[in-house]
Structures are given as structure tokens and as C-alpha cells.
Amino acid sequence: MNLRKLFAEHLSSWIMEMGPEGDVVLSSRVRLARNLKGYKFPSIASQEELAKVLSAVEKFITKSERELKLLRLGGLDALSRQELVEKYLISPEHAKDSPSKGVALDAKGEISVMVNEEDHLRLQVIKPGLAIEDAYKIANKVDDEFESALDYAFSSQFGYLTACPTNVGTGMRASVMLHLPGIVSLGQIERVATACSKLGLVVRGLYGEGTASKGNIFQISNQLSLGFSEQEILSHLHSVSQQIIEEERKSRQRLYEENKIEFEDQIYRAYGVLMYARRMDSSEALELLSRLKLGIDLGVVKDLEPVILKELVVAIRPAILQKIVGLTLEPGERDQKRAEIIRERLSQSN
């Protein structure tokens, strides 16, 4: 397998690039919730009404100069829908079968617009590293394009109207995905999460709301979308992120200097198991990849590209894994193929 090539074909650009502060920040994401005037919110709309929303969006996309491709989720098999979830392009809720759900995607996997999720439109932009501002700029531009053709539900008092009151106002949710092995190792993640909460931010594990963290990966996002401007929300999240980045870097340095040999040994053992194991489940892979990434970022492991963690964390998920190798696999077979892909990708690193 030429995994570099296969990964480039299957993985979004934000996964294949490091971006700013890439030693700690995996990605930045901005999501805008929008609804069309004159149609009920999806949860209470008839299928007929939802079909009209989807058609209106499709009509706009077809005419638009921005090259987006609309997929109707009803026309995709379960594996392909799951793949979109694992790539963060649609929500797990959106993957559930329905004739009138759709998603518009750009070629790079940077922009996605879910149609008829909780709101009529959920426009999302993901960028590599700490780039909340950049992600917002693109999202704002795409949003303007949509708004020029579609009539949004907007109140001069509340701002953009959304199905759930927590999204009213800017309709914006901005988030960063952080790799925090240092803070976790020093037992400080609870304190950081509590501090974030007091600052109006929410900390979640890798797979979003209600899930525990795996591989020391966390998402931090704004809790409120009302009462602040987009700029205020973005710069607040940016500045808190920078504080966490600093704390994470200091924590790593402290752990390393407290016992260099033990630290290096743990990193290299993780590297060894990743390079040699013949089967591996997702949890173990995330844990070992997290340790290896820490070693790469601290310069302990010098022969691997730092972007490997992000690539592999995404590539080893069940549906993406099967899409990359072009096979339908049972869970046991996936554990073997996962180990194989990790071995081969690490071997092809330089």
C-alpha cells in the first residue's frame, strides 16, 4: 500500500497539514447555524417541506461559483455516511437515514454544509492548527454567498433564529481540538476544564459531547452564541486557547525534565508497539499515538513527521479505515488492518 497517496486521497486537507501551534492544536472549527424563512425547523417540518429546503439549497449550489458538491444522505450506504461522521463533515445525528438530509462539501474537506440537520443549514469550516479567525473568515464568506440567494430567518432583536435556543444570536459555535498529554499527565485537566467553564467555554472529549477523552484529545468551544459579537467569541476562544497551549508546553517540558530516561523509554515503547503489533483496537492506538506525538513534538523522536498523529487518529477509525483499504471488514479484521496501516504509515514516514 502507498499510504501517503491513499491518505491524500481520503483525508481532508486540515488533517494532512500541521497549521499554527500544531504541537498542541490539531484543528480549529467554526460552525454557523442558519434557517430559511417560511419553513418550519426540521424537527417539526413535514418531509415535503424538508424536500423543498433541500431543493432550494441544491438549486443555489448548482448556480453558485463556489465548487460545492451536494450529497443526498439517503443515497449513501451506511458505511459512507459513517465515513462522513468520522471525518467530522456531518454529525452522528445527521448520518441517520432520512430522504431529505443532505451535505454540501468542497473538494478539500474544509467546508461542509449540512442541510436539514437540527437547523436547515449548518455551515462548517475546519482549518489545521490554531486558526479560528481564518476558519471564521471562510465561513463568513460562504455564509454571505448562501444568504445572497436564500432568505434567512433573522430577528433584529435575537439575531439568527435557530431550532435550539442555545444557538440563537450569532448562530456560531467555534471550537479548537487540542492534544493535552502534559496537562493530563500532571492531573490538571479537571482544573483546566473548570476554569474554561467559568470563562463560558466547554471542554469535551475527542468524539464530542458526553464522551470521555481518548488519546488526550479535547475540544474546547464557546457555550453561548447570544450576547456577544462573532469577533468577541472568536478572540475569547483564541486567547484562552493560547493560555492552555502555554500550560501544555510547560507541562510537557516539566515531565520530560523530571525524568528524561523514563519519559523517553515510555515514548519509545509506544513507538515500538505501534511499529510491531499485529492487531490493535482504536483505544490503544489513540493512547500510543498520543504518546508518540508527544515524543515527536518534544524532539525525542526525530525520524517521524509530526502530522502523522492527526493522519492516523482519523485514518484508523472504522469506516475511514475500510474506505482507505477498499474492503468491508469485521471488527477483528479491522484490528489487524489498523495495526498494519499504522506500521506501514510509520515506516513510510521519511
41 contact partners, CB below 8 Å, separation of at least 6: 35, 118, 119, 120, 163
Q: Which of residues 263-282 bind its own copies (CB under 8 A)?
A: 264-265, 268-269, 271-279
Nearer to its own copies, 190 or 265 (CB): 265
Regarding 212 and contact with its own copies (CB under 8 A), the answer is no
Nearer to its own copies, 9 or 257 (CB): 257
DSSP helix/strand/coil, 244: helix
Minimum CB separation of residue 267 from its own copies in Å reads: 8
CB atoms within 10 A of CB 255: 19
Where does this chain touch its own copies (CB under 8 A) — which range of 211-219, 235-243, 258-266, 309-317? 258-266
Nearer to its own copies, 275 or 327 (CB): 275
* DSSP letter, residue 319: H
Outline where DSSP puts E strands in 261-313.
none
Regarding 298 and contact with its own copies (CB under 8 A), the answer is no
Regarding 321 and contact with its own copies (CB under 8 A), the answer is no
Minimum CB separation of residue 196 from its own copies in Å reads: 35
Kindly tell me the burial class for residue 157, based on how many C-beta atoms sit within 10 Å of its own C-beta (0-12, 13-18, 19 or more).
exposed
Regarding 256 and contact with its own copies (CB under 8 A), the answer is no
Nearer to its own copies, 63 or 302 (CB): 302
As a whole number of angstroms, the distance between CA 109 and CA 113 comes to 11
Minimum CB separation of residue 287 from its own copies in Å reads: 14
Residues in binding contact with its own copies, number by CB under 8 A: 18
Regarding 304 and contact with its own copies (CB under 8 A), the answer is no
Minimum CB separation of residue 332 from its own copies in Å reads: 8
CB atoms within 10 A of CB 278: 9
Nearer to its own copies, 212 or 261 (CB): 261
Minimum CB separation of residue 255 from its own copies in Å reads: 15
Nearer to its own copies, 24 or 267 (CB): 267
Nearer to its own copies, 44 or 261 (CB): 261
As a whole number of angstroms, the distance between CA 310 and CA 279 comes to 20
Pick the binder of its own copies from 336, 340, 344, 349 (CB under 8 A).
336
Q: Following DSSP, what letter does each residue of 53-75 receive, concatenated? A: HHHHHHHHHHH-SS--EEEEGGG
As a whole number of angstroms, the distance between CA 35 and CA 74 comes to 21
Regarding 198 and contact with its own copies (CB under 8 A), the answer is no
Minimum CB separation of residue 304 from its own copies in Å reads: 13
Q: Sign of the C-alpha dihedral, residues 221, 226, 227, 230?
A: positive
Regarding 339 and contact with its own copies (CB under 8 A), the answer is yes
Minimum CB separation of residue 261 from its own copies in Å reads: 6
Nearer to its own copies, 8 or 275 (CB): 275
Minimum CB separation of residue 72 from its own copies in Å reads: 39
DSSP helix/strand/coil, 3: helix
Read off the amino acid at residue 20. Answer: P
* DSSP letter, residue 208: B
Pairing of strands 121-128, 111-115: antiparallel
Read off the amino acid at residue 109. Answer: G
Q: Nearest-5° angle of CA 331, CA 334, CA 337?
A: 160
Cα atoms in the 13 Å half-sphere on the side-chain side of 146: 28
CB 120 within 8 A of CB 34: yes
Regarding 23 and contact with its own copies (CB under 8 A), the answer is no
Nearer to its own copies, 160 or 271 (CB): 271
Regarding 329 and contact with its own copies (CB under 8 A), the answer is no
Q: Where does this chain bind its own copies (CB under 8 A)?
A: 261-262, 264-265, 268-269, 271-279, 332, 336, 339
